[in-house]
């Protein structure tokens, strides 16, 4: 029996679906074993200075904004959290951010959102931020390598990026990746 065009057109979608199903199954197997983390998007900026950016306007008289120069001049670690009012994981993350705000300074960056919506979101869900800058164009986020929200960066005194996370923060992530940097003395920053 000769292979006809009709046979090929029938076989290709079946083979494609099988390959896709196998890939999905392997991904789930990796997630279950812990060898694959879909949120583990790394940044090439890790261990480097924060990208330079102009002053981000504050948020609707709620908090003052900040610039890269202000961020680099800090003498304690700062957690920079990119968020938006339209982001469901950001809503889920807010109670935890509020909880850890007594342990670490958190500065927010409102990503591609309207100031009024972001201010209402923060007031409704709790305000863990000491400063909040607006990034309506998303340019600052692009320069930081943000691929979605929420994303957070731990900035050490002097402006070095010590850690990056591309998922909603929780206790496990905080204890494993951020808490070890707290309580240290940072005297050699710029």
Q: How far apart are CA 111 and CA 24, in angstroms?
A: 31
Nearest 5°: CA angle at 105, between 100 and 110? 95
- In a domain, residue 121? The reply is yes
Say yes or no: 95 and 13 in one domain: no
- In a domain, residue 189? The reply is no
Say yes or no: 80 and 1 in one domain: no
pTM of the model: 0.78
Say yes or no: 16 and 91 in one domain: no
CATH number for position 62: 3.40.30.10
Range of the domain at 26: 1-39
Nearest 5°: CA angle at 100, between 138 and 63? 45
Domain count, the chain: 2
Summarised one tens digit per residue, pLDDT across range 151-166 is 999 999 999 999 999 9
Summarised one tens digit per residue, pLDDT across range 35-70 is 555 555 567 789 999 999 999 999 878 899 999 999
Summarised one tens digit per residue, pLDDT across range 96-135 is 999 999 999 999 999 999 999 999 999 999 999 999 999 9
- In a domain, residue 187? The reply is no
- In a domain, residue 66? The reply is yes
Nearest by Cα to 161 from 169, 151, 150: 151
- In a domain, residue 186? The reply is no
């Amino acid at each position: 029996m000769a292979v006809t065009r009709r046979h090929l057109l029938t076989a290709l979608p079946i083979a494609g679906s099988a390959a896709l199903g196998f890939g999905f199954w392997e991904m789930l197997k990796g997630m279950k074993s812990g060898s694959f983390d879909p949120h583990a998007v790394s940044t090439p900026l890790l261990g480097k200075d924060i990208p330079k950016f102009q002053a981000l306007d504050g948020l609707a008289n709620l908090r003052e904004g900040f610039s890269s120069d202000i961020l680099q001049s800090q003498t304690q670690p700062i957690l920079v959290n990119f968020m938006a009012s339209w982001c469901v994981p950001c809503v889920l993350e807010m109670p935890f951010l509020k909880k850890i705000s007594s342990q670490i300074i958190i500065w927010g960056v409102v990503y591609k959102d309207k100031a009024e919506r972001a201010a209402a979101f923060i007031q409704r869900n709790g305000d863990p931020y000491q400063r909040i800058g607006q990034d309506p164009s998303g340019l600052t986020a692009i320069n930081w390598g943000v691929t979605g929200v929420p994303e957070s960066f731990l900035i050490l005194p002097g402006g070095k990026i010590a850690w990056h996370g591309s998922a909603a923060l929780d206790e496990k992530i905080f204890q494993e990746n951020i808490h070890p940097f707290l309580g240290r003395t940072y005297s050699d920053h710029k």
